[in-house]
Amino acid sequence: MASNNKYITTPIYYVNDVPHIGHAYTTIAADVLNRFYKQKGDNSFFLTGTDEHGAKIAEAAEEKGETPKKFVDSLVPQFKKAWEALDIEYDGFIRTTDKKHEEIVTEFIKKLQDAGYVEKRKYEGLYCVGCEKFISEDELEDGKCPHHGKEPVKHSEENHFFLLSKLQDKLKQAIESDEFKVAPEARKNEVLGKINQGLEDVSISRQAVEWGAKFPGDDTQTVYVWVDALINYYSATKIFEGPKWPADLHLIGKDILWFHAIIWPAMLIAIHEKLPKEVFAHGFFTIGGKKMSKSLGNAIDPIALSEKYGADAVRYAILREFPFGEDGDISEEKIAERYKTDLGNELGNLVQRTLTMVNKYELEVGPTETLSIDTPDVDGVTIREAYDKALTNLDFSGALEVVFRITRDLNAEIERKKPWELEKTDKNELAVVMGFIYQSLLGVNELILPFMPETAEKMKKQLKTLKPEPLFPRIEE
Ligand SMILES: [Zn+2]
């Protein structure tokens, strides 16, 4: 079977932030998909990284009395540490301060200029330092930036503008036809709505911001940090062995849809590059019913959670709790509950009791030619097909629902057939029942791997050695 190339990205995270549960959410989702495609034999590449330029970084470095480069170097490890704690195996980690990336950014802008899509103009407007972008009056809430709660400052400068307005028809066509797919549907409609209101040209350079990629042909300017960051998806294909442009999927939070579904594809159209196949914007969550803020985000620190419950339980709970494209709520209580019920009582207990009985009743079990997950049901659909379909559509909670329906059914089967009675009355039936449960567990083992790699490995070993050990031991509070 020919292997498919897959190229999946997360946003590159702003290095001045502490990795929080929101970053973890997108990155875990990308990791699950990457592991899923690799398990199927595809040639998958998963890119993440850090966004390290801009005025805010330069200022923060200065406050610490450090050079910006030294400052960002000191911050990158905290992201790598978080991803390690969550058992995230990216294939490439890109940094926007990588010299090669900076060069490619400058070349990219040069191509935009050559294509006639850049013009220098004077610009005056309200600017949010926190967002590092100009902000229009109607975006303000009580005169303040809704994201930062701070009043924007009046700002005037000469900038290079990207002539986005010229590209709106082509962009609209690419989105409407799904040549460039924006998902979920609600987000697609939101983007088309914005395009229909008319797109204005956007500034893509900054004056007097030294900490950035060089703007071609103008030493007084650097490339606007957002544009610099977007180009990472493309520059990575020239920096790393493996990923091929175009990207198959950009996973993002819905707050950065504007950049990913409008600015980025328009820039690519302008230089006649292929468009990414899909941008998928996931929802936001509240934490224990409260809007996420810096202090709350830290209260549910992904590293601390994975130390307490294990990376797998965090990965599982966060993707199981609510559909990926929607808003939802997460809390430590919810993770603890999932750990105890779904993982401990359902899955862990099922493996343990099955192996205990196999040993006790001295049953012969082993892999069969066809797993029950590959046996079609009355509608001709196998469990694996249902699971694959859900994951391919980024329905993570749906895929997990497929898996945990099996574990529920198997536990129910044990209660119904009562192997401990069959042992006395019908040894043949006992062997059939337990053989089926055992080989169903081999299937479950395969399906949980992308979500819970460590548990899958432990479970596989137990199914082989027939020595049960608790997969999710009780956590003492
Ligand atoms: Zn802001």
Q: How many domains does the chain have?
A: 2
Measured in Å, residue 95 CA sits from the centre of ligand 1 at 23
Residue 314 lies in a domain: no
What SS3 state is found at 161? strand
Nearest of 443, 441, 419 to residue 431 by alpha carbon: 419
Rg (CA), the chain: 26
> Which tens digits make up the pLDDT trace of 234-257?
999 999 999 999 999 999 999 999
Measured in Å, residue 130 CA sits from the centre of ligand 1 at 4
Residue 474 lies in a domain: no
Tokens of 185: 């549907």
Q: Do residues 236 and 377 both lie within one domain?
A: no
For residue 296, is pLDDT > 80? no
pLDDT of residue 1: 47
pLDDT of residue 32: 98
For residue 279, is pLDDT > 60? yes
How would residue 445 be classed by pLDDT, with cut points 50, 70 and 90?
Answer: very high
Residues serving a catalytic function are 20, 23, 128, 131, 145, 148, 291, 294
pLDDT of residue 229: 98
Q: Do residues 273 and 342 both lie within one domain?
A: no
Residue 63 lies in a domain: yes
Measured in Å, residue 135 CA sits from the centre of ligand 1 at 8
Q: Are 9 and 250 in contact (CB under 8 A)?
A: yes
Measured in Å, residue 126 CA sits from the centre of ligand 1 at 11
pLDDT of residue 298: 58
Say what the pTM is.
0.94
User: Which residues, listed in sequence order, are joined to residue 123 by a DSSP beta bridge?
Assistant: 157
Please, what is the average pLDDT of the chain? Answer: 94
For residue 297, is pLDDT > 80? no
Q: Taking residues 298-327, what's their average pLDDT?
A: 92
Q: Taking residues 431-460, what's their average pLDDT?
A: 97
How would residue 156 be classed by pLDDT, with cut points 50, 70 and 90?
Answer: confident
Q: b/e per residue, 60-73, with b = 16+ CB within 10 A?
A: bbeeeeeebeebbe
Measured in Å, residue 260 CA sits from the centre of ligand 1 at 18
Assign residue 48 the CATH number of its domain.
3.40.50.620
Measured in Å, residue 150 CA sits from the centre of ligand 1 at 7
pLDDT of residue 476: 77
Measured in Å, residue 148 CA sits from the centre of ligand 1 at 4
Residue-wise DSSP of 12-38: PEETTSPP-HHHHHHHHHHHHHHHHHH
Residue 301 lies in a domain: no
> Which tens digits make up the pLDDT trace of 93-131?
999 999 999 999 999 999 999 999 999 999 888 998 888
Q: Do residues 141 and 253 both lie within one domain?
A: yes
User: Which residues, listed in sequence order, are joined to residue 253 by a DSSP beta bridge?
Assistant: 282
Q: Do residues 276 and 352 both lie within one domain?
A: no
Measured in Å, residue 441 CA sits from the centre of ligand 1 at 50
> Which tens digits make up the pLDDT trace of 405-435?
999 999 999 999 999 999 999 999 999 999 9
Most confident among 17-26, 148-157, 193-202 (mean pLDDT)? 193-202
Measured in Å, residue 155 CA sits from the centre of ligand 1 at 14
Q: Do residues 353 and 205 both lie within one domain?
A: no
Q: Taking residues 154-183, what's their average pLDDT?
A: 96
Measured in Å, residue 151 CA sits from the centre of ligand 1 at 8
Residue 295 lies in a domain: no
Q: Of 34-38, 86-90, 151-155, which range is least confident?
A: 151-155
Measured in Å, residue 298 CA sits from the centre of ligand 1 at 20
Domain boundary among 266, 282, 298: 282
Measured in Å, residue 124 CA sits from the centre of ligand 1 at 17
Q: Are 104 and 238 in contact (CB under 8 A)?
A: yes
pLDDT of residue 295: 61
Q: Taking residues 328-347, what's their average pLDDT?
A: 96
Residue 260 lies in a domain: yes
Domain boundary among 249, 282, 315: 282
Measured in Å, residue 287 CA sits from the centre of ligand 1 at 22
Q: Taking residues 179-196, what's their average pLDDT?
A: 97
Measured in Å, residue 255 CA sits from the centre of ligand 1 at 12
Measured in Å, residue 146 CA sits from the centre of ligand 1 at 7
Residue 323 lies in a domain: no
Residues in the chain: 477
CA distances from 213 to 53, 94, 218, 277, 281 (A): 8, 15, 11, 27, 27
Nearest of 324, 159, 188, 206 to residue 262 by alpha carbon: 188
> Residue 43 phi/psi, 5° resolution?
-95, 85
Q: Do residues 345 and 461 both lie within one domain?
A: yes
pLDDT of residue 413: 97
Residue 304 lies in a domain: no
The DSSP secondary-structure symbol of 369 reads: S
Q: Which residue has the higher pLDDT, 445 or 16?
A: 445
> Which tens digits make up the pLDDT trace of 64-83?
999 999 999 999 999 999 99
pLDDT of residue 258: 96
Q: Do residues 272 and 348 both lie within one domain?
A: no
Measured in Å, residue 169 CA sits from the centre of ligand 1 at 29
Q: Do residues 251 and 384 both lie within one domain?
A: no
Q: Do residues 343 and 239 both lie within one domain?
A: no
Q: Do residues 349 and 201 both lie within one domain?
A: no
Spatial neighbors of 78 by CB under 8 A, at least 6 apart, are: 18, 19
For a pLDDT cut of 90, what percent of the chain falls above it?
84
Q: Do residues 86 and 160 both lie within one domain?
A: yes
Q: Do residues 250 and 338 both lie within one domain?
A: no
Rounded CA separation 101/397 (Å): 36
Assign residue 345 the CATH number of its domain.
1.10.730.10
How would residue 132 be classed by pLDDT, with cut points 50, 70 and 90?
Answer: confident
Helices (H), 324-395: 332-338, 349-360, 383-392
User: What is the extent of the structural domain holding 210?
Assistant: 5-282
> Which tens digits make up the pLDDT trace of 339-387?
999 999 999 999 999 999 999 999 999 888 888 899 998 899 999 999 9
Nearest of 305, 214, 193, 236 to residue 47 by alpha carbon: 236
